[in-house]
Amino acid sequence: MRGRVVAVCKSEHKGMRKTSVGSAVLREGHGLLGDAHAGKWHRQVSLLAMESIQKMRDKGLDVGPGDFAENITTEGIPLADLPVGTHLLIGDQVLLEVTQIGKECHTRCAIYFQAGDCVMPREGIFCAVLKGGRIAEGDEIEVIVEERVPVES
């Protein structure tokens, strides 16, 4: 399964929308350089599909990439359907591993108050950076599902 990067976004502080920057460097074991959410934890990079953002647009909101505080906005991959442990290859070198699907929102964000709903807690995914490098808008994303060998009983 393949998709593409629509936007690469970052912010200097947590709790705010992210700004599209066109391209950025992901550091192995850390996340997107210069982003407030990067660090040594399991949610180093966040992804949200353009298809999810469109759901909020259909509710009348004027939203786009970065408005849900995601680092990478994608297109063509049903992100929320990917199992934890799935690998994503972005471009020809950056490798991510899905570590979490959705998240609990302890406080309601501005999007929730505008629309009465927010897709990020249900449809956003979080990844750890296994191999770093530069990513940019338009890069291809390949979903790598590892073959599991059945255990004989």
Kindly state whether residue 113 falls inside one of the protein's structural domains.
yes
Which residues constitute the domain of residue 17? Answer: 2-144
Backbone conformation region of residue 33, classed left if phi is above 0, alpha if psi is from -120 to 50, else beta: beta
Number of domains in the chain: 1
- Among the listed residues 153, 137, 146, the one whose alpha carbon sits nearest the alpha carbon of residue 66: 137
Question: What is the CATH number for 64?
Answer: 2.40.33.20
> For residue 99, is it within any domain?
yes
- The CA distance from 101 to 86, in Å, is 11
Return the ∠ at Cα 17 (arms to 12 and 22), rounded to 5°: 75
Angle at 32 between CA 26 and CA 33, to 5 degrees: 95
Contact 14, 6 (CB under 8 A): no
The length of the chain in residues reads 153
Q: How many CB atoms lie within 10 A of CB 92?
A: 9
Confidence (pLDDT) at 115? 46
Please give the chain's pLDDT, 153 residues, in tens.
999 999 999 999 887 788 999 999 999 999 999 999 999 999 999 999 999 999 888 988 888 999 888 999 999 999 999 999 999 999 999 999 999 987 665 455 555 545 455 677 688 999 999 999 999 999 999 999 765 555 565
* Burial zone of 96 (CB within 10 Å; 0-12 exposed, 13-18 middle, 19+ buried): buried
94 in any annotated domain: yes
Residue 149 within a domain: no
